[in-house]
Amino acid sequence: MRLILTLEYDGTPFRGWAAQPGLPTVEAALRQALVEAFASVENLAVAGRTDTGVHALGQVASVDVQGGPPPERAAAALNSRLPDEIIVLSSAEAPAGFHARHSARSRSYRYRLFTRSTASPFELRRSWWLPRPLDEDALAAAAAALPGEHDFRAFTPAQTQHEVFVRVVERAEWIRRGDHLDFEIRADSYLRHMVRSLVGTMIEAPGAIPELLEGRTRAEAGGTAPPWGLYLVAVSY
């Protein structure tokens, strides 16, 4: 039986999603819980491999299991075995042929800035504190240039395994929510560090975004925003 799991996690204590020998990762914690709850666990896959310190509000995983609780009770069984920073929001039997990564049509991310003049202990490792004034009109114009098909090679490390740098962005905008200024983006797929590099460049030089989308080099773009402001919000199938 193949399960589909929707997860929420605080990425602070983890070295990203992907399992690494001797290091705490979300994948390793979830796999351990699955092994404890089911007699057989195979083909664990995830919609988006989040980096160290990155959070998720709606991560999706698929996995083949046997000999454990029924699908509707799998979430509770796993939550009793997972660390407090990871929660399975829902569990269900997956449709035929479903794969968490390959079946995904788009993924939505949010990058959260905290713009209050003073820091907050409740925002630590949850957002990027930027107390200086920001040109929100310029940020909005930069985001408006992103939807469509573009070459994003300026927004991923120069040393990369990617061979194709074109991605299709469906939606991109900045939204003010009180002391937070959130960048929200939905695309078919992403290059490594793409969202964080877009945010860093928009903060430093928002007017440069249109020309950078023409396939410019990474060195011509701005810095990479820190990981703790980034959230995987949802995956669409």
Cα–Cα distance, 197 to 226 (Å, whole number): 9
Give the type of residue at 126: R
Strand locations in the chain (E): 2-9, 40-46, 55-66, 86-93, 106-114, 128-129, 148-151, 166-177, 180-187, 230-236
Active site residues: 51
The C-alpha atoms of residue 147 and residue 169 are separated, in whole angstroms, by 5
Quickly tell me which residue has 């080099």 as its tokens.
217
